[in-house]
């Protein structure tokens, strides 16, 4: 028996193509990107991964462990990035503004008693 447990992921690619990826449990997001790039003949730099339901663009760092994002049997949607700065700016702005609701609470705590 294999001592290394494997993550089996279903990848849904452009044009309705599907691919089953088997990656070691300790694999990183970068390894999934490489696998997706090869499976769907995309340039690795243009691979975007959408995870979860509803699928949302994955913006974590490339060295994030897959086991923290997905479990075996999950489906990831793979799409080719258009490279249009507009979509990337809006998605990174949305990501950057996510922690904002915590700011007012921190501001209230700032004045001395």
Q: Is the peptide bond prior to 95 cis by the omega test (within 30 degrees of 0)?
A: no
Rounded to an integer, the average pLDDT of 49-69 is 91
Q: What is the pLDDT of residues 26-44, one digit of tens each?
A: 899 999 999 999 999 999 9
For residue 100, give Cα distances in angstroms to 65, 70, 94, 95. Answer: 26, 26, 10, 10
pLDDT over threshold 90, residue 2: no
pLDDT of res. 83: 62
How does residue 113 score in pLDDT terms, banded at 50, 70 and 90? Answer: low
């Amino acid at each position: 028996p294999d001592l290394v447990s494997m993550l089996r992921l279903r990848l849904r690619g452009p044009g309705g193509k599907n691919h089953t990826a088997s990656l070691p449990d300790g694999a990183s997001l970068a390894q999934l990107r490489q696998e997706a790039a090869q499976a769907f003949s995309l340039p690795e730099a243009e691979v975007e991964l959408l995870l979860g339901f509803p699928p949302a663009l994955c913006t974590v760092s490339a060295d994030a462990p897959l086991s923290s994002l997905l479990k075996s049997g999950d489906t990831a949607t793979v799409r080719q990035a258009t490279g249009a700065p507009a979509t990337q700016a809006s998605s990174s702005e949305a990501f950057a503004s996510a922690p904002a609701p915590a700011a007012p609470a921190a501001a209230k705590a700032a004045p001395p008693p």
